[in-house]
Chain A
Amino acid sequence: MRDKVVQVLEIKMIDKRVNTFEEALQGIADSSTVLLGGFGQAGSPVELIEALIDQGATNLTVVSNNAGEGEFGLAALMKAGRIRKVICSYPRSSGSFIFEELYESGKIELEIVPQGTLSERMRAAGAGIGGFFTPTSAGTLLSQDKEVRQIDGKDYVFEKPLKADVALIKAHTADRWGNLTYNKSARNFGPAMAMAADLTIAQVQEITNLGEIDPEHVVTPGIFVNRVLEVKLEN
């Protein structure tokens, strides 16, 4: 009798852990919109992004605060010619030469979104909100062609939710239910992106047993996460 109960529990077990990059990235289609976590290198899922080159998806629209640096991670994916369009707040960082080359030769499209608007648009998508009015960008080039409404005497710009097919994020600790904690300022866009995508894949430093993350410390609840892959990195 006892054995039977255990068996039933095992069948119903939720397990979001995957063991390989192939499993983690399975099913990402060409022309997808992909959210990439990170602010500069902090929180950037570099290993997942590089594995996406091998996975092969192309013609991607990528949402990322920055446009990559050096020739690794996002810059490597760009160099491989997989990205059609980048949506970001600040593409010009020192070392973003791959993006700049592609931009200047007209090989990549760029949409600039103010940083707070970028994260709020993803939060809205994840929260089922049909858009919002923000004072950010009122009276500037970035609100051209957008609805502007005066609310209590102040101008606000209508911004739509930014939904995506896939999110690749980096967190610190996960469990098999996909609960996540982050490390310091590497948290940045992770929680908003996890909410906004149909398929959220997190690379983490460590996967622990269920119950080992203090419930009070869970930052992204597992409901927003589909797959977790342990990628141990040296500090």
Chain B
Amino acid sequence: MPLNRNQIAWRIAQEIEDGSYVNLGIGMPELVANYIPENREIIFHSENGILGMGPQPEKSEEDGDLINAGKKPVTLLTGGSYFNHTDSFAMVRGGHIDLCVLGAFQISKNGDLANWATLDNSKPPGVGGAMDLAVGAKNIFVMTEHCTKDGTPKIMEECSYPLTGQGVVNTIFTDLAVIDITSEGLKVREKINEISFMELQNKTGAPLIESDIKELSPPVL
């Protein structure tokens, strides 16, 4: 079975090292926070000026002045801090954030990321902090379905949508596989057992490298 979103989030969470400073992109990547293994202390950064961001509060505890980048109510953990936007993006661009998890429309074989605009010009585009995070974080993980809803590969030779950053992605976590972007190309590190390497290749728009592939098998979530 392809992974559901919670399972992709779980898989990414296993990869986050103890003591990391992590920024989770808006939307699907926010799920990663739910699956951080116990005994790991991870500090979440939110680009609107929070380090040590905690989970969503009870409805009665919500505070309109304490929100995350997706503008949803959050909490502050003991030891957390607030700061202004300029300092927040100094942390981002200055290479102080260990890992950022972002969603994607498209990813190219050399790690280009497109996740802010499509070719549809009728709607206004919006970039937010994605371009700063893409170039600034030490590692970029992409969390995405392997293909679009109509089955078109999201991983391709070259992105056709406008880029967010060039050569920035380190690892892609999909519902089918974990793929590292290396100097030799797209190296499949893990895949689900239900599909063969060839089937995975057919769902991918750029050549994959097969070497010592482990099973991608998250718990039922």
In the assembled complex, which residues on chain A have CB atoms less than 8 Å from the CB atom of B82? Answer: 182, 184-185, 187
- Pairwise interchain contact A185-B50, C-beta atoms closer than 8 A: yes
The answer to whether A90 and B48 touch (CB under 8 A), given A120-B89, A136-B93, A187-B83, is: no
Chain B 41-68 interface residues, beta-carbon cutoff 8 Å to A: 46-50, 63-67
- Pairwise interchain contact A115-B85, C-beta atoms closer than 8 A: yes
Residue A186, interface by CB 8 Å:
yes
Inter-chain CA distance A110–B126, complex, in Å, is 10
In the assembled complex, which residues on chain B have CB atoms less than 8 Å from the CB atom of A99? Answer: 124
- Pairwise interchain contact B127-A92, C-beta atoms closer than 8 A: no
Residue B176, interface by CB 8 Å:
no
Inter-chain CA distance A190–B126, complex, in Å, is 21
The answer to whether A39 and B48 touch (CB under 8 A), given A103-B124, A114-B131, A191-B86, is: yes
In the assembled complex, which residues on chain B have CB atoms less than 8 Å from the CB atom of A68? Answer: none
Number of residues of chain B lying within 8 A (CB) of chain A: 40
- Pairwise interchain contact B65-A43, C-beta atoms closer than 8 A: yes
Our pick among B63, B71, B93, B132 for the contact of A184 (Cβ within 8 Å) is B63
Residue B136, interface by CB 8 Å:
yes
- Pairwise interchain contact A185-B66, C-beta atoms closer than 8 A: yes
Our pick among A88, A112, A114, A184 for the contact of B129 (Cβ within 8 Å) is A114
- Pairwise interchain contact B132-A115, C-beta atoms closer than 8 A: yes
In the assembled complex, which residues on chain A have CB atoms less than 8 Å from the CB atom of B130? Answer: 114
**Secondary structure at chain B's binding surface: helix, strand, loop or mixed?**
loop
In the assembled complex, which residues on chain B have CB atoms less than 8 Å from the CB atom of A93? Answer: 71
- Pairwise interchain contact B67-A114, C-beta atoms closer than 8 A: no
- Pairwise interchain contact B131-A189, C-beta atoms closer than 8 A: no
- Pairwise interchain contact A116-B129, C-beta atoms closer than 8 A: yes
In the assembled complex, which residues on chain A have CB atoms less than 8 Å from the CB atom of B76? Answer: 184
Our pick among B84, B85, B127, B164 for the contact of A90 (Cβ within 8 Å) is B127
> A206-235: contact bitstring with B at CB < 8 Å (1 yes, 0 no)?
000000000000010000000000000001
The answer to whether A192 and B85 touch (CB under 8 A), given A42-B64, A140-B165, is: yes
Closest chain A CB from B53 CB (angstroms): 9
> B114-125: contact bitstring with A at CB < 8 Å (1 yes, 0 no)?
000100001111
- Pairwise interchain contact A100-B123, C-beta atoms closer than 8 A: yes
In the assembled complex, which residues on chain A have CB atoms less than 8 Å from the CB atom of B49? Answer: 39, 185, 187-188
Number of residues of chain A lying within 8 A (CB) of chain B: 50
- Pairwise interchain contact A115-B128, C-beta atoms closer than 8 A: yes
Residue B162, interface by CB 8 Å:
yes
- Pairwise interchain contact B131-A137, C-beta atoms closer than 8 A: yes
In the assembled complex, which residues on chain B have CB atoms less than 8 Å from the CB atom of A39? Answer: 48-49, 67, 71, 85
Our pick among B86, B125, B127, B132 for the contact of A123 (Cβ within 8 Å) is B86
Inter-chain CA distance A131–B109, complex, in Å, is 34
Closest chain A residue, CB of each to CB of B122: A104
Chain B 1-57 interface residues, beta-carbon cutoff 8 Å to A: 46-50
Closest chain B CB from A120 CB (angstroms): 6
Closest chain A CB from B12 CB (angstroms): 23
Chain B 158-200 interface residues, beta-carbon cutoff 8 Å to A: 162-166
> A161-192: contact bitstring with B at CB < 8 Å (1 yes, 0 no)?
00000000000000000000011111111111
The 10 sampled A-B contact pairs (Cβ below 8 Å) are: A39-B71, A43-B65, A92-B123, A115-B128, A116-B89, A136-B93, A136-B135, A185-B46, A188-B85, A189-B84
**Besides A39-B49, A188-B85, A219-B84, 19 other A-B contacts (C-beta < 8 A):** A40-B67, A42-B65, A42-B66, A42-B71, A103-B124, A114-B127, A114-B131, A115-B89, A115-B132, A116-B93, A119-B84, A123-B86, A135-B136, A140-B163, A182-B82, A187-B82, A188-B84, A190-B84, A235-B63
| Contacts from A to B (Cβ < 8 Å) | 39-43, 67, 88-93, 99-100, 103-104, 110, 112-120, 122-123, 134-142, 182-192, 219, 235
